[in-house]
Chains A and B, each alone.
Chain A
Amino acid sequence: MGAWAQERDDFIRAFSGAYIFGIPLLFTMEMWWIGQYADLWKLLVFLGLAFAANLGLTYAAGFKRRSTFGTTVNQAVDAVAVGIVAATIMLLLLNQIRLTEPLDSIVGKIVVQAVPLSIGASVANQIFGKRGEKSRQGESHGEPMGPWHSFFSDVGATIIGGIFIGFSIAPTDEVPLIASALDYHHLVAVIGFSLLVSYMIVFASGFDQASPQGLFQRPFTETMLAYLVSLLVSFLALYLFDQIEMGDPVLSMLEKTLVLGVPATVGGAAGRLVI
């Protein structure tokens, strides 16, 4: 594998880990508020903390393979940068940072979220490394599953993972709050992003190593199907938690489902890795 492909894989892993670990906090309005009115010196402390935590974590479990002092620092820097970029993307997507806002409020929101996200990036290797590969390999080494068996096992994992993360966010006020703040462009971006993250996580699990069989075993179909399953989980969760009621405007139902679809998709993709 070329050096660029290696870097690409490392960063895809890091971003996937960041979102799996940090998605509940990205959907927490208190985090947005803390970022909005935190004293600026506290933001510097947050950045320092993120870097220190990542140095420690990288020492124990980095997202790259080698570990010398130089690469440890390198990975910690990369992890914090991934945290910052991942936070910026998600906050823009959820329309929680706007260009009309004062600069310190934008920076604050990003820095506060970058802490958990960067930690997620650092533990990415733990999530996707040996364990993830083992579970994929286990699938292909053991009794070979029939296409339908492996299809249903992947759908089941997607549902369980989606419920695991989706149900912890579905009852919160953030879902209608975010949904109401999204316009058409944001909705399209939310769909695109959900698909991309789902694909990234599947990809990061070392997809190409698994034996291709069944509908869920092709990256593109797996991504599309997983997204539809995740949206269904989101809709059901919202309905069960009374966030959606029959007779609501269709657009409002759709918006909320798509918003909850982001964490549900991330959870679903993570579920397929673990199970």
Chain B
Amino acid sequence: MNQKQTHDQAQEERNGSSSNQTSPSGDKDRSVAEWTTLGISIAILVFILGLTTYLYVRGGEKPAAILVEPQMQELRQDNGGYYLPVIVRNEGDPTVEEVNIEAELDTGAGEPETAQFTVNFLAGGEQVEGTFVFQHDPAEGDLTTRVMSFQEP
């Protein structure tokens, strides 16, 4: 009797406490634990599917437009150079590659100074930070920044 009881208990444990053994469906021995994890799994799937579908439907094919914003307040001087951080942002939707950014600094004395860098990948809406290094103080001259070129993959 004792043995049978422990056997039944073990059986019940395996099946989970709320399983309905007389249910004719194939899920009769699915436990609460299994239902819970299945529920969480379905929620994750539905979330990702829904998000992807939403982003797809929202779509938008705004062509790539690159914005360059010098961060003058973060300008610093080091090792005889002026370090000017800039934020490069893709305001369009498609990803672009090999974005060439150039800055020209005209201090009025001699030839204007130029500096440039390349951003490898810039997804739609993404922003990255780069730094221009000048010999002269950008705060004292006429600074222009521009995007020279990019590729569309």
Contacts and interface: CB of A to CB of B under 8 A. Distances in A.
Interface of A: 1-4, 6-7, 11, 33, 36-37, 40-41, 43-44, 47, 66, 68-71, 74, 77-78, 80-82, 84-85, 100-105, 107, 110-111, 114
Contact of A3 (B16, B44, B52): B16
A74 B34 contact: yes
Contact of B14 (A1, A77, A78, A110): A1
A82 to B, nearest CB: 8
Interface of B: 13-17, 25-27, 29-34, 36-38, 40-42, 44-45, 48-49, 51-53, 55-56, 59, 94-95, 121, 123-127, 153
A183 to B, nearest CB: 15
A69 B36 CA distance: 19
Contacts of B121: 33, 36-37
A105 B126 contact: yes
B52 A107 contact: yes
User: For the complex, would chain A's binding face be called helix, strand, loop or mixed by DSSP majority?
Assistant: helix
B9 to A, nearest CB: 11
Contacts, number: 103
A106 to B, nearest CB: 9
A78 B44 CA distance: 9
Given A1-B13, A107-B48, A110-B48, A40 B41 contact: no
B88 to A, nearest CB: 13
A3 B33 contact: yes
Given A44-B52, A74-B34, A78-B37, 13 more contacts: A4-B33, A7-B34, A7-B36, A37-B123, A37-B153, A41-B56, A44-B56, A70-B26, A77-B42, A102-B125, A104-B55, A105-B123, A111-B52
B53 A44 contact: yes
B48 A84 contact: yes
A102 B126 contact: yes
Nearest to B38: A74
B38 A102 contact: no
B63 to A, nearest CB: 15
A84 B55 contact: no
Nearest to B127: A100
